[in-house]
Amino acid sequence: MKTLVATVLACASLLTFNQAAAKPIEIKFSHVVAENTPKGQMALKFKELAEAALPGQIDVKVYPNSQLFTDSTVLQAMQLGDVELAAPALSKFQKYTDQLQLFDLPFLFKDIEAVDRFQQGPEGQKLLKSMESKLLVGLGYLHNGMKQLTDNSPIRVPADISGKKYRIMTSDVLQAQFEAVQAIPLKKPFSEVFTLLQTKAIDGQENTWSNTYSKKFFEVQKYATETNHGVLDYMVVTSAEFWYGLPDDVRTKLKTAMDEAIAHGNRIALKKGAEDRQKIIDSGKTEILTITEAERQQWVNAMKPVWKMFADEIGPDLIGAALEANN
Ligand code: LMR
């Protein structure tokens, strides 16, 4: 594999270097969320830091709100050289690697700090390279937060969700998770969620506080149940051809800018989760339900069998390492 990457990159390198001498390297960063979210802010910070570090040499263009690509088209576009940066949710890489399905296992991580420990540990760092055979390079992880359920009726226990249509991201694990509680999961793009909720084509969805707030899902949902049943984080990815084709000094400066932008985004994720939860409460439109430990245990019992269904594909060692991060 290394040889394939090296050959592709050697050709790309010369081309890109020559172009760089003539005009700024254009870096298109495509994402699907609003600008006032952890990912939206991270992308803008990257633009600011990267352009400051390489004045006149690069031109970063950020396209939010699915303006350029949706998450189901962006990775292929990246492989074709039509976009240089994206940060899809970890649930959206299924076509490229089985291993990232780990992050969708319900009730695997106890909180975002545990997710962070795993991501920064050796197994998490290895996963950044898990798609290099598909010419996609992970530059880092970005947090959004833990997922909650929203609905028009109060959901407290698995029986309440039975028979209801829920929008999910394109992940077989998430499909199995909702099927385990007899709900009907529908894989739909993020850009369609508000309309699906508004027209009542679906009953509910799972998402973080910042996505539910920034995309106004709370305006068309009466309840949110604070389950923290899973994580919604991102991998910032780029194309191997683009990345390894950059002159070394440019790549090094861009990586530093990206690391700082991710740290900035992570600080925002922590703050925004709590702030946007409060804004949803203050709106008076959605009531936030907290569940008891006994109610939570019902969700765990119903959903945890999903782990076994995907353990072979993901790798039991990886699941073990993720569980370790809870300690
Ligand atoms: C979703 O589709 O719900 C999320 O992946 C959106 C995002 O990028 O946070």
pLDDT exceeds 90 at position 283: yes
Q: Which of 71, 104, 235 to mutate to test the pocket of ligand 1 (most atoms within 8 A of CB)?
A: 71
Question: How far is Cα 184 from Cα 239, in angstroms, rounded to an integer?
Answer: 35
What b/e readout covers 22-34, taking b as 16+ CB neighbours within 10 angstroms?
eeebebbbbbbbb
Closest-lying ligand 1 atom to the alpha carbon of residue 207: 3
For residue 90, the CA-to-ligand 1 centroid distance in Å is: 9
For residue 236, the CA-to-ligand 1 centroid distance in Å is: 13
Average pLDDT, the chain: 94
For residue 65, the CA-to-ligand 1 centroid distance in Å is: 10
Question: How far is Cα 45 from Cα 36, in angstroms, rounded to an integer?
Answer: 12
Q: Which of 29, 42, 214, 232 to mutate to test the pocket of ligand 1 (most atoms within 8 A of CB)?
A: 232
134-191 pLDDT, tens digit per residue, is 999 999 999 999 999 999 999 999 999 999 999 999 999 999 999 999 999 999 999 9
216-265 pLDDT, tens digit per residue, is 999 999 999 999 999 999 999 999 999 999 999 999 999 999 999 999 99
Look up residue 200 and give its two tokens.
């009542």
Supply the DSSP string of 266-294, one letter for each residue.
Answer: HHHHHHHHHHHHHHHHHHTSSEEEE--HH
Q: What is the pLDDT of residue 2?
A: 47
Q: Where are the alpha helices (DSSP H) in the chain?
A: 2-22, 38-53, 74-79, 112-120, 122-127, 172-179, 193-198, 209-214, 240-245, 248-283, 293-303, 305-314, 316-324
With a cut of 0.90, is the ipTM above it? yes
Residue 327's pLDDT band, with cuts at 50, 70 and 90, is very high
DSSP letter, residue 159: G
pTM over 0.80: yes
Q: Which residues surround ligand 1 with Cβ inside 6 Å?
A: 32-33, 89, 144, 169, 190, 207, 211, 232
